[in-house]
Amino acid sequence: MSERIGGADERSDPLLEVEDLETHFPITRGFLRREVGRVRAVDGVSFRIDRGETFGLVGESGSGKTTTALSALRLEEPTGGEIRFDGESVTDLSGADLRAFRRRAQLIVQDPNDAFNPRMTVGEAVAEPLALHGMNDAERRRRIVADLLERVGLAADDADRYPHEFSGGEKQRIAIARALVLNPDLIVADEPTSALDGRVQSDVLALLDDVRREFDVAVLFISHDIDVVRQFCDRLAVMYLGEIVERGPTAEVLNDPAHPYTRVLLGSVPSLDPSDRELARPLTDSVPEPSDPPAGCRFHPRCPDVIAPADVDLEPDLWRTVAAFRFSVRTGELPPEIDAARGTEDPEPGIDETTVREAFDLPGELPDDRAEEGVAAAAEAIARGDLDAATDTLAEAFPTVCGRESPADGDRHERQVRCHRYDSAVEATPRSSSRTLETDG
């Protein structure tokens, strides 16, 4: 870039530190807007980004990725935790100090169509941050904009055109130019390629990588696309219901996923390779509400590796079938032939305990007496339409540490994994798949 403004002094890493970040949104009711609950969009998230590094946040829609990033930029106000940028706290900044921080940390939004005022030329849109931060020399602003447009693969003359004259990929290039115009140290890219087709995605990712290397800028990259994160990020964190469940180098996490949720995400990625096998599927498809997250491990209602009670002796595959039965009943995800029994006190024609077992792929009798007693009682309750009784019976028969206690971050090969199976104090049942789950115990 021929002219650049500002610029930070060289300081030691990390560039951005986020510690125990919380962003909760109140739920209010009534004329007086009384608070009756909170949506825990971000709930105790910690990570760091080094200068020049690309760090990914990945997870399903609603996992809290975007809110985490906006909170780190103070575009959403956190309700707890600490944010440090280049060694200095930005949690309580305001006024000119907050504007100075945002000058060094810029945002690229998901849809380039939402990024620009249609009444402003591209040159005006890219130059707007310069004017807002005090550069009054219009000719100097134009020179900087022309240089940036050329660096992102457009022409200097494009500054006089309007956003509607450009394709989606070109508009995203313009958005990158605008993010760079203040010479930031950090760019937050929120799903920057999700609105683009495959070829344009690759072009934009290549441009972002060139920008990162040329300007030594760090990138916080938010995506639900595992393949994009694999291609672009040095390290990543996997988010679920407002928490980070696994964090580490991208290649290590994606080639050998440790947390069950990470394996579920990878198992959902389609592949043209017939040798690829499905890594994992969730026990249920229902995602709990962030306003009412489950007790214990937040993933446990869907976890294919939920830990069995110590006094239940079942083979791993059979235990997963029982666990899936338990959580399906709890969430109301009943097979069609069973769903008709809900809400009635009398048995439905043709629905009995055997029908329930067959619908949930349960054997006629379990080899463990205690487990058999619980399943039989629950199946009988479902057959007579009493779903609440079945839910309570299964919860009492199959208590799990995953539902009682929130796991701490465990270490595995220089990674942090929030799962009870990496706690040496918890006796975990073995997995039956060919990929062995390592534990400290």
Of 399, 415, 432, the residue at which a domain comes to its end is 399
Whether residues 244 and 321 share a domain: the answer is no
Token pair 């313009």 in the structure block, residue: 174
Residues of the chain with pLDDT under 70: 1-12, 195, 270-280, 340-350, 411-414, 424-441
Closest CA to 283 of 272, 270, 291, 294: 294
Predicted local confidence at residue 279, as pLDDT: 59
Structurally, the chain folds into a number of domains equal to 2
Whether residues 125 and 235 share a domain: the answer is yes
Token pair 């024609």 in the structure block, residue: 349
DSSP 205-259: HHHHHHHHHHHT-EEEEEES-HHHHHHH-SEEEEEETTEEEEEEEHHHHHHS--S
Any domain includes 277: no
Closest CA to 235 of 419, 51, 53: 53
Tokens representing 200 are 């344009």
| CB 127, CB 142: distance < 8 Å | yes
| CB 236, CB 248: distance < 8 Å | yes
Of 368, 384, 399, the residue at which a domain comes to its end is 399
Whether residues 203 and 327 share a domain: the answer is no
CA-to-CA distance for 362 and 74, rounded, in angstroms?
A: 50
Whether residues 239 and 329 share a domain: the answer is no
Any domain includes 58: yes
For the entire predicted model, the pTM comes to 0.83
- As a dihedral over the C-alpha atoms of residue 145, residue 146, residue 148, residue 152, rounded to 10 degrees, the angle is 130
Whether residues 323 and 215 share a domain: the answer is no
Whether residues 90 and 198 share a domain: the answer is yes
Tokens representing 289 are 């509400």
Q: Which residues contact 148 (CB under 8 A, 6 or more apart)?
A: 1, 126, 177, 180, 181
Predicted local confidence at residue 11, as pLDDT: 43
Dihedral sign computed on CA atoms, order 244, 247, 251, 254: negative
3-class DSSP assignment, residue 123: helix
Of 237, 255, 273, the residue at which a domain comes to its end is 255
Dihedral sign computed on CA atoms, order 239, 244, 245, 247: positive
Q: Which residues contact 271 (CB under 8 A, 6 or more apart)?
A: none
| CB 324, CB 283: distance < 8 Å | yes
Q: Which residues contact 165 (CB under 8 A, 6 or more apart)?
A: none
Any domain includes 437: no
Residue 378's Cβ-count burial label (10 Å; 0-12, 13-18, 19+) is buried
Residue 77's Cβ-count burial label (10 Å; 0-12, 13-18, 19+) is exposed
Closest CA to 226 of 206, 248, 246, 254: 254
Whether residues 247 and 331 share a domain: the answer is no
Phi and psi torsions of 58, nearest 5°? -130, 145
Any domain includes 295: no
Predicted local confidence at residue 278, as pLDDT: 55
Predicted local confidence at residue 346, as pLDDT: 53
Dihedral sign computed on CA atoms, order 290, 293, 298, 299: negative
Q: What is the 3-state secondary structure (H, E, C) of 246-260?
A: EEEEHHHHHHCCCCH
Kindly report whether the peptide bond that precedes residue 129 is cis, defined as omega within 30 degrees of 0: no
Q: Which residues contact 429 (CB under 8 A, 6 or more apart)?
A: 307, 308, 316, 319
Predicted local confidence at residue 296, as pLDDT: 92
Predicted local confidence at residue 61, as pLDDT: 87
Domain residue limits at 217: 16-255
